[in-house]
Structure 1
Amino acid sequence: MSVSAEALYRMSDVELLAAYGEARRQFLEKKFTRDTNRARLVWIRAKMFVGSSGGVTERNMAIDVSEEIARKGQELREMTRDLDLLKVDVDIIAIVIRFRGASPPPAAHGEDTLEEEPERESH
């Protein structure tokens, strides 16, 4: 989206609320996609771990050097970056709405939080 704050402030109330709704929709779609890919990555890691031979350390090392896992991890980091940028757009629109004296529609619990990628525990 990336509309400037000045352009947002010049929008009518109806246009501003429509922009807010569209930005929230895009944010939630990207968040769902990112979370789905994160879960797939965890599943692939677990499947590789179980299918490998050797001790825990050897299995974890094999997973860490896997090109497929590295590529999917990079894609996940890029999706998280895009999600963060969409969240900035949503927040700017909400700030403009509040600045006008109105309150933006309430967000569902937990959908605005951008959790950090869980770090893999060392064994």
Structure 2
Amino acid sequence: MEDYEAATQYYEKLVTLEPDNVDARYKLGLLYIRAKDYGAAEKEVEALRGIGTENATQRADALTENLSSGKVKGFFRDLLKKVAPGLPEIPGITEDGPIEPETGETSEDPLSEDKQEGTDIFQSVPDSGDAVTE
């Protein structure tokens, strides 16, 4: 879902109606992290821990890890913007999103050249059947 604000509103309403809905609280926490609203995400962690079930505790732990990671990423992005203000957008580094290879520049088998070179090396090495004893 690309519309994060609409998704956030949906999950906020859902947790108001169902305060013990673990999945909704977890997803809402992730949306808060994405929006860099770390205080709200921490409240969702506390709410999950308050539910007390094993599933809620596991989701709280996972959300805590995402929260820590999000804070670190945000810190470094802000630092990069201050140090190198003209830096182009780099997916996964200066902007959110997965790091993906550029299309058209990668071959189907990027190691194919390495494989050819490696086979020449291994062909010249004798195996145990080629050992000579005196």
- Greater Rg, structure 1 or structure 2? 2
Q: Relative contact order, CA 8 A, sep 6+: which one is greater?
A: 1
Higher helix share: 1
Shared fold (TM-score, shorter chain, > 0.5):
no
